Structure 1
């Protein structure tokens, strides 16, 4: 490799250099055996964030109702509890939270079982509650909470 190739790969970035060496990145979800578009494809980030906001707003509303308007500071803590319980119950039974359902998303198991078993849903929910795992993504847009639970969010 001469200096021009080394400088060229440095300037074009690591992805371009890897592609020149023969790496095939493909579309998001290709490594997981998922289609590029349509039902069963990896859920777009915008829809996932939108579903999160819908679920959080619903959780905050329920928490506010349960506390009957008492201390607003306590509502945020209870909203997190409601959010986690709602996530555990809805993802564990129908595969979607209310926000995901409205935006046509579903959490499925990668091993072909369809919906997640209860224990894997619990692992996913606990990690989601910690927030940090949900902010660490791989190249297929799967958060660490999805990777560790063996799940993926797809379009329906």
Structure 2
């Protein structure tokens, strides 16, 4: 396997995508945050004192996707054409899942943007609830699907 973020001397580089074709690209990522029962129910009911936790987390995730190249050194700045963030509740686990889809039409994929959006949304939930529950755990952040580009489709469900 060739690692494309290093030159022949082993020095870090930004991958040159000049000659790549533009294609429609989509990435789907997921991650979870588990918490105590009281916090979980208050988030689900929308009664956390700081406000609309999931609404703020959604906006934070979208902003995270847009700022990925500012955070991850070798990521290209991308024109993102769409970001969708959904929240799924798992009552038996006291867990909220963040599912993110990021789209673009370009020369490089949006996996890092989707992962950044998911983790930013999760961190925002943590930030808004930490006064109630410092034992929350962020886990299982992963790329679930990607499509487009030379490497084609990838599924990890």
TM-score, length basis structure 2: 0.30
Higher fraction of helix = 1
Larger Rg: 1
Normalized per residue, which structure has more strand? 2
- Which protein has greater RCO, CA pairs closer than 8 Å, 6+ apart? 2
